[in-house]
Structure 1
């Protein structure tokens, strides 16, 4: 199985992401660095070897810097992003690269005024269902929405929607749980 997806950014990863964000913004390369970071994260999540390189203490910092430089060059990633990877590896923070990608992604979305939403359903949504939810959310938040969808069969039916820290749980499993709780109290 390919490298595991990091789901959070620690403080160090956030600091590195913030520094890269400011540097990319100052150099007018924000969109390019964003694309490079996304492409690199996809490579890591699709490659056990690359994930091992980032996380394993068996490789020296110098070995990591050299390998990441070669990967970056072969993948056609920009110089600024390549130097960023090298800096993280040299400073012993290569294991935080995916966390930094998440933090950078958040900063980029904020800068563009985009709201992030996660929708969970019991089965895969159709394209029309997804577009309808995106349209409703865009009207509700008054701006652009980037929707991520997840499938969770334990919901049985219905939908869970999270925007920021707000959760709307209209799943069948939640309704059954509320009915069960109400019946116990009766």
Structure 2
């Protein structure tokens, strides 16, 4: 029964934390309707900023393709000659842990933990996307999405595209 109670507590913590937290800010003076093309911030060269284990050619290529496809679905064309927008992104992954305490059955209602606890390890990943107006050099959009990840997340193009889609969900902003 103690294990059941510990699992219930753990699942409630885990499920409560499964939601992706998204934060978006943008320049309300920018006319987003005039932008049609994009490229990468560093001289139109795709660069990766993130954990070293993700910096392999397959993952980086999947991430690049995911961004290009998501932007194309939003009506933007990749242009490395004369883009309207410059995109930059950063990935952070941090190790996290939580303790789930076991409770004695007869003391559960008092919520007094006994000395035993289970430690659960997980990752918290954040993807930050910055978009700048190439002509003015001004940052006009920033969005970040954070969520808990599996300890060994699959870095497939499909999974990466989900993350990119979440970060760019409100891009471009709707006119008011």
| Larger CA Rg, structure 1 vs 2 | 2
Normalized per residue, the structure richer in strand is: 2
Which one has a larger percent helix, Structure 1 or Structure 2?
1
User: Normalized against structure 1, the TM-score is what?
Assistant: 0.24
Greater relative contact order, per chain length (Cα 8 Å cut-off, separation 6+): 2
